Chain A
Amino acid sequence: MTAGVLPVWWDDAADGPTNMAADELLAEEAERCGGLVIRLYAWSEPTVSLGAFQPIAEAESSTAIAGLPIVRRPSGGGALVHGTDLTYAAAVPKSHPWGGSPQALYDAMHGAMVAVLGMLGFDARLHVPSTDDPPADALLCFARRSPGDVVVRRPGRPAGPLDPKVMGSAQRRLGTTVLQHGSLLVATCPTVTDAARHDGLAELAGQPPEWTAESLADRWTALVAEPLGIAREFQSGAFSATRGPDIASRAGRFRDRRWTARR
């Protein structure tokens, strides 16, 4: 594999610690390939992933997400409820054009998603900060707004600063690589209470969707590769299958309460 293609893996559902361990190894894969790599994946059960520095007490005392397993990400940002989202991890060497500043990779991934959503009939855009933004320290990612988040206008309503956020991402900037986690809210998550529910694309479509998470990811990854002048290349096996033993040994750190409750 070379930096001349964008390798994309689509992995089977796994638990939180396994997914986090796989993503750490994905960052090493980016270093080895010398370019952008992407892993798309699902979760074996609805799970909350907590940002690297979010207080565990806040998550564990939240009745909105009570009962869900919690895994702490190495990346920053707010908590995500996984289960009805499309989760991705992208990694690039810091020497890559998108590795130099946090916003570059963020905008590249989100800009491509805005374009895909536009093709599917959504009025999507990158969020521009305003004085109406909710608090930046809200527990849940989809209750926050950061510059460049993907927001969608509700059908039949004018665009406004409180339009729902459907995609957010956050990074871990390692020594020589950048690991970016992100989530596209495909549909609202039924396993949480109303306080943690946010409308996803299915609710915002206004009509039964003709797309699936898979078709959307197909278009999205192809568009991500386009400005780099490279071709997206789906890999034949799951990333987790190729690095199974390494992932299993690293997952222990993410299962350890000392990591999950580090703050």
Chain B
Amino acid sequence: MAEMKFAKSHEWVRPEAGGLATVGISKYAVEALTDLVFMQLPPVGRKVKAGESLGEIESVKAVSDIYAPISGEIVEVNAALPGQLDTLGADPYGAGWIVRIRPDNPAEMAGLMDQAAYDATVKS
């Protein structure tokens, strides 16, 4: 399986077969938000730039933007997720995926952190 990369804003991205990339939010981010109550996904077909908000997630206390870790077109969303927000906590890197993106420039991923570097930032 291709290496997962992380953005400072706690999203992860994983290259998939066919040139697509799957995006979600890290276990750390899910645990920090606690008690998720609502999620808004972007429409399929929307173009996003790296660092741009692609959706929002609300917990009991806070609304957080979900930022695109890479630029590209959203080709698929996990439509079941807003109705099953527990999945984000139970399996954030698997069934808790949020969108699939067709990257504009796959080389953008090189600017993101690997798991070890990300773990170091959330522990510091």
Q: Chain A residues in contact with chain B, CB under 8 A?
A: 51-53, 74-77, 100-103, 106, 136-137, 146, 169-175, 178
- Most chain-A Cβ atoms within 10 A of its Cβ — which of B33, B40, B62, B65? B62
Overall SS of chain B's interface? strand
Instruction: Kindly supply a per-residue 1/0 record for chain B positions 54-84, scoring 1 wherever the CB is within 8 Å of any chain A CB and 0 otherwise.
Output: 0010111111110100000000000000000
| Partner among A53, A76, A174, A175 whose Cβ is within 8 Å of the Cβ of B40 | A53
**Are B40 and A102 within 8 A (Cβ)?**
no
B122 — nearest CB in chain A belongs to which residue?
A: A100
- Bound form: Cα–Cα A178–B63 in Å: 10
**Are B63 and A101 within 8 A (Cβ)?**
no
Given A52-B56, A53-B38, residue A76 in contact with residue B62 (CB < 8 A):
yes
Given A53-B38, A53-B40, residue A171 in contact with residue B56 (CB < 8 A):
no
B52 — nearest CB in chain A belongs to which residue?
A: A175
| Partner among B9, B34, B51, B58 whose Cβ is within 8 Å of the Cβ of A52 | B58
- Least CB distance, B87 to chain A, in whole angstroms: 19
Given A102-B32, A102-B33, A175-B9, residue A170 in contact with residue B67 (CB < 8 A):
no
**Are B61 and A103 within 8 A (Cβ)?**
yes
**Are B61 and A76 within 8 A (Cβ)?**
yes
- Least CB distance, B71 to chain A, in whole angstroms: 16
- Least CB distance, B27 to chain A, in whole angstroms: 14
- Bound form: Cα–Cα A102–B63 in Å: 10
- Bound form: Cα–Cα A171–B65 in Å: 11
A146 — nearest CB in chain B belongs to which residue?
A: B60
Known: A102-B59, A136-B37. 17 other contacts (CB 8 A): A51-B58, A53-B56, A74-B63, A75-B62, A76-B62, A101-B32, A102-B34, A103-B34, A106-B61, A136-B60, A169-B61, A171-B62, A172-B64, A173-B64, A175-B9, A175-B51, A178-B62
Chain B residues whose C-beta falls within 8 Å of the C-beta of A171 in the assembled complex:
61-63
Chain A residues whose C-beta falls within 8 Å of the C-beta of B40 in the assembled complex:
53
Chain A residues whose C-beta falls within 8 Å of the C-beta of B58 in the assembled complex:
51-53, 76
B64 — nearest CB in chain A belongs to which residue?
A: A173
- Least CB distance, B46 to chain A, in whole angstroms: 16
Q: List 21 A-B contacts (CB under 8 A).
A: A51-B58, A52-B58, A52-B63, A53-B63, A76-B58, A76-B59, A77-B61, A102-B32, A102-B33, A102-B62, A106-B61, A136-B37, A146-B60, A169-B61, A170-B62, A171-B63, A172-B63, A173-B62, A173-B63, A173-B64, A174-B65
Chain B residues whose C-beta falls within 8 Å of the C-beta of A100 in the assembled complex:
32
Given A102-B33, A175-B51, residue A76 in contact with residue B65 (CB < 8 A):
no
B33 — nearest CB in chain A belongs to which residue?
A: A102
- Bound form: Cα–Cα A22–B34 in Å: 28
Chain B residues whose C-beta falls within 8 Å of the C-beta of A74 in the assembled complex:
63
Chain A residues whose C-beta falls within 8 Å of the C-beta of B33 in the assembled complex:
102
Chain A residues whose C-beta falls within 8 Å of the C-beta of B56 in the assembled complex:
52-53
**Are A146 and B61 within 8 A (Cβ)?**
yes
- Bound form: Cα–Cα A77–B62 in Å: 7
- Least CB distance, B67 to chain A, in whole angstroms: 6
A169 — nearest CB in chain B belongs to which residue?
A: B61
**6 residue pairs, one from A and one from B, having the closest CB atoms:** A171-B62, A173-B64, A76-B63, A102-B62, A52-B63, A102-B61
Chain A residues whose C-beta falls within 8 Å of the C-beta of B51 in the assembled complex:
175
- Bound form: Cα–Cα A100–B32 in Å: 8
- Bound form: Cα–Cα A169–B37 in Å: 16
Chain A residues whose C-beta falls within 8 Å of the C-beta of B62 in the assembled complex:
75-76, 102, 170-173, 178
| Partner among A101, A102, A173 whose Cβ is within 8 Å of the Cβ of B65 | A173
- Most chain-A Cβ atoms within 10 A of its Cβ — which of B58, B61, B64? B61
